[in-house]
A and B are shown apart, each in its own frame.
Chain A
């Protein structure tokens, strides 16, 4: 059942939230696999647990039970410092609301994960190379002329492309995208999807895309449906 080439492996993942006496089971034993270089869409209705699954895979939250493995290593029970490091280096995330830092310009936003990784002294050493890589990525996404614009000076599509560049600057093993087109009109959203497909095809980037839109989901190699906290048979 477990493929040798499997990059991300989720087994029997359970997560529930508690509000007062009421217990809400969001994930009730999810199994999920992502092969290296695969582009998978996770679809489901609101509240089906698809965002929660993405957050758990992105190590932003802890599951109640079950396991998540990246490559050969189980990553859901690591100490927080190692999880921080993995999140910084192995996982790239893109969100619906872009989540750029408003005080920083486009280039600095892209550099942010590298700044998080390196201390001040180390940063001074790698700064030149990092800047070049970030500028390259932004130029590739058509933002070469907007390196020093603040997020509020950019359009939605441009902000999302900056966010994708930020997710990729660390050269992660997997990109987790949570409704990346949700806040965009159809045309702009299409461009973002084109960018993701292009990345998957040209660079072999492994992508998990969460969406509620079946049309968008179809762009992926494979579609996984979540309903009531479980994976539905395709």
Chain B
């Protein structure tokens, strides 16, 4: 009983010992915060990666892919049918995306991915990342009549605002077409006027120098007209191609491409019809300014050009015009600024991936979703056994981003080791202060021994004291750490307000706010470790106290 009472009294009368515990507190708090933020980033990244990639990706090494995905899916099902929840074929080719901003062509290197719009959303989280609520419900490559999100649908709390998406869709397209028409009329009028002027000047004589100076401005006007007309002159050809290929395309009802197929022999009206729909990553079409507002270079409803290789050998580059129908945002910048999705059937046809004899289409890869609880690695290894490795690559989503994920994990463990060393340093502080207390309390120890307290009892006082201090320190650290983690974004805002420096710039990171994940298991380990260190560092002083000779201790001043 005296142990408890004395521990308590020492704790209450020796505040200096609590000072040594402050380092334990800070160490524990730092570890909790760092772990929560790192786990938040890592978790966020994993969901993003996993969101775009399905559980297992089955790919051909060749760009032309393999024929007859149905047969392959049958084989896959035969090899690992019990664990498979769904499959969808995809075609992925490197391509170039070109679009026009203020009369200038911007070209980006992309991965052009053909997906099956009915099954793809089931296999990955792709559907969740779209900007139109209707498309999130059920993906369609037909342009929508407005209604795109102007606030990031995935952020709970303050997210980036996207006022530009307000009028996106058909309204934007009609307005653009109207503006182009006005432009064209104005330019034509200008050109006609210039030609008339030139003719007038030419008629007035002085032919030697005059034409050369007149050619310059006229040509530049021509270029402008071409640029503006580019979008309207191309559709005719594209529409014709669409129409010719349509019968061989395995389409599903209801056909979302009706709008893209104008009546035969009639020029397409861009204000009422669209080209094949595509869904580019939001990073390709926008940038985030420093105030957290997303600025868009192109919007749903705009037409863009994509240049991609055909399936033949050697591949030839072909171009086509597409209409942006939506953006997706997985928040993995690598994907958001690289991937452009298109209906698989259209891509197969345009690349010539459909065998004219058999009518069988080729695909690059099959995305496989597994049932909950299935072991990814086991299924992957089973598929690897069935399909020859020199033809097919089978990998889990973790394999695909292995280096990135392991780098984050490694960073986390190194940080944890370093931070734990901080707590260990705190342990030496406790050791020193405890030795001082034992020296100071030597006489009291003698008194207790004269009252019949045993050596183990005396050691118990100091061990218990260390345990108390460890618990107090770790408890305070836990409270502090959790408080910081739970309010980390307001703390960030406060620090930014105080220093005027941006701590977490949403235009650099893809997350709008700092993500955190609190793992009770990790916290339990941190607390246990901190308390263990506090107790361990009180062992030596406790042993010293236990070994004190009572007579000498009583004589101590």
Considering only residues 1-36 of chain B, those with a C-beta below 8 Å from chain A are 1-2, 4-6, 9-10, 13
How many angstroms from the CA of A88 to the CA of B457 in the assembled complex? 13
Considering only residues 453-472 of chain B, those with a C-beta below 8 Å from chain A are 453-455, 457
- Across-interface contacts of B149 in A (CB, < 8 A): none
B551 touches A113 (CB 8 A): no
Cβ of B444 within 8 Å of any chain A Cβ, yes or no, is yes
Closest Cβ of chain A to B187, distance in Å, is 96
Instruction: Indicate which residue in A84, A101, A119, A123 contacts B454 across the interface (CB closer than 8 Å).
Output: A84
How many angstroms from the CA of A32 to the CA of B447 in the assembled complex? 25
Indicate the size class of the contact surface on chain B. 20 to 34
Question: Can you list, as one digit per residue, whether each of A110-137 has a CB less than 8 Å from chain B (1) or not (0)?
Answer: 0011011111101100000000000000
Instruction: Indicate which residue in B6, B13, B452, B454 contacts A113 across the interface (CB closer than 8 Å).
Output: B452
**Residue of A with least CB distance to B12:** A103
Closest Cβ of chain B to A176, distance in Å, is 10
B5 touches A115 (CB 8 A): yes
How many angstroms from the CA of A115 to the CA of B5 in the assembled complex? 9
Instruction: Indicate which residue in B4, B449, B450 contacts A120 across the interface (CB closer than 8 Å).
Output: B4
How many angstroms from the CA of A30 to the CA of B443 in the assembled complex? 28
Cβ of B448 within 8 Å of any chain A Cβ, yes or no, is yes
B452 touches A101 (CB 8 A): no
Known contacts A60-B551, A101-B444, A115-B1; A88 and B451 CB within 8 A of each other: yes
Cβ of A19 within 8 Å of any chain B Cβ, yes or no, is no
**Residue of A with least CB distance to B456:** A81
**Residue of B with least CB distance to A119:** B1
Cβ of A95 within 8 Å of any chain B Cβ, yes or no, is yes
Question: Can you list, as one digit per residue, whether each of B539-557 has a CB less than 8 Å from chain A (1) or not (0)?
Answer: 0000000000111001000
How many angstroms from the CA of A88 to the CA of B550 in the assembled complex? 14
- Across-interface contacts of B5 in A (CB, < 8 A): 104, 108, 115
B444 touches A60 (CB 8 A): no
- Across-interface contacts of B453 in A (CB, < 8 A): 84, 88, 116
Cβ of B481 within 8 Å of any chain A Cβ, yes or no, is no
- Across-interface contacts of B449 in A (CB, < 8 A): 60, 84, 87
Of A104, A108, A116, most buried by chain B (CB within 10 Å of CB) is A116
Closest Cβ of chain B to A125, distance in Å, is 11
Closest Cβ of chain B to A153, distance in Å, is 15
How many angstroms from the CA of A58 to the CA of B446 in the assembled complex? 13
Considering only residues 58-76 of chain A, those with a C-beta below 8 Å from chain B are 58, 60-61
Known contacts A81-B454, A84-B453, A104-B9; A116 and B448 CB within 8 A of each other: yes
Cβ of A102 within 8 Å of any chain B Cβ, yes or no, is yes
Closest Cβ of chain B to A148, distance in Å, is 14
**Residue of B with least CB distance to A176:** B450
B452 touches A117 (CB 8 A): yes
- Across-interface contacts of A93 in B (CB, < 8 A): 450
Closest Cβ of chain A to B437, distance in Å, is 12
A95 touches B2 (CB 8 A): no
A112 touches B9 (CB 8 A): no
A80 touches B451 (CB 8 A): no
A99 touches B455 (CB 8 A): no
Considering only residues 115-135 of chain B, those with a C-beta below 8 Å from chain A are none
Cβ of A89 within 8 Å of any chain B Cβ, yes or no, is yes
Question: Can you list, as one digit per residue, whether each of A77-92 has a CB less than 8 Å from chain B (1) or not (0)?
Answer: 0001100111111000
- Across-interface contacts of B13 in A (CB, < 8 A): 103
- Across-interface contacts of B454 in A (CB, < 8 A): 80-81, 84
Known contacts A101-B444, A103-B13; A116 and B455 CB within 8 A of each other: no
How many angstroms from the CA of A120 to the CA of B5 in the assembled complex? 10
- Across-interface contacts of B457 in A (CB, < 8 A): 116
How many angstroms from the CA of A61 to the CA of B552 in the assembled complex? 10
Number of interchain pairs (Cβ within 8 Å): 71
B10 touches A103 (CB 8 A): yes
Cβ of A55 within 8 Å of any chain B Cβ, yes or no, is yes
Instruction: Indicate which residue in B4, B9, B550 contacts A61 across the interface (CB closer than 8 Å).
Output: B550
B6 touches A60 (CB 8 A): no
Closest Cβ of chain B to A107, distance in Å, is 12
How many angstroms from the CA of A108 to the CA of B2 in the assembled complex? 10
- Across-interface contacts of B444 in A (CB, < 8 A): 101-102
How many angstroms from the CA of A112 to the CA of B449 in the assembled complex? 11
Considering only residues 11-28 of chain A, those with a C-beta below 8 Å from chain B are none
How many angstroms from the CA of A85 to the CA of B449 in the assembled complex? 10
How many angstroms from the CA of A115 to the CA of B455 in the assembled complex? 15
- Across-interface contacts of B447 in A (CB, < 8 A): 99-101
Closest Cβ of chain A to B445, distance in Å, is 10
How many angstroms from the CA of A220 to the CA of B5 in the assembled complex? 38
Of A115, A119, A123, most buried by chain B (CB within 10 Å of CB) is A115
How many angstroms from the CA of A104 to the CA of B449 in the assembled complex? 16
- Across-interface contacts of A100 in B (CB, < 8 A): 447
How many angstroms from the CA of A123 to the CA of B2 in the assembled complex? 10
**Residue of A with least CB distance to B457:** A116
Known contacts A104-B9, A116-B2; A80 and B443 CB within 8 A of each other: no
Closest Cβ of chain A to B455, distance in Å, is 7
B451 touches A116 (CB 8 A): yes
Instruction: Indicate which residue in B1, B451, B455 contacts A87 across the interface (CB closer than 8 Å).
Output: B451
B2 touches A112 (CB 8 A): yes
- Across-interface contacts of A118 in B (CB, < 8 A): 1
Considering only residues 138-182 of chain B, those with a C-beta below 8 Å from chain A are none
B1 touches A60 (CB 8 A): no
- Across-interface contacts of A102 in B (CB, < 8 A): 444
Closest Cβ of chain B to A119, distance in Å, is 6
**Residue of A with least CB distance to B451:** A113
- Across-interface contacts of A117 in B (CB, < 8 A): 452
Can you list 24 A-B pairs with a CB-CB distance of less than 8 A? Answer: A60-B550, A61-B550, A80-B454, A84-B449, A84-B452, A84-B453, A87-B452, A88-B452, A88-B453, A89-B452, A99-B447, A99-B450, A99-B554, A101-B444, A103-B6, A103-B9, A108-B5, A112-B451, A113-B452, A115-B5, A116-B1, A116-B457, A119-B1, A120-B4
Task: Other than A87-B450, A102-B444, A123-B1, give 19 A-B pairs with Cβ distance below 8 A.
Answer: A55-B551, A60-B554, A80-B455, A84-B454, A87-B451, A87-B452, A93-B450, A95-B450, A99-B446, A99-B554, A103-B10, A112-B448, A115-B1, A115-B2, A116-B448, A116-B452, A117-B452, A119-B1, A120-B1
Closest 6 CB pairs of A and B: A88-B452, A103-B9, A123-B1, A115-B2, A115-B1, A87-B452
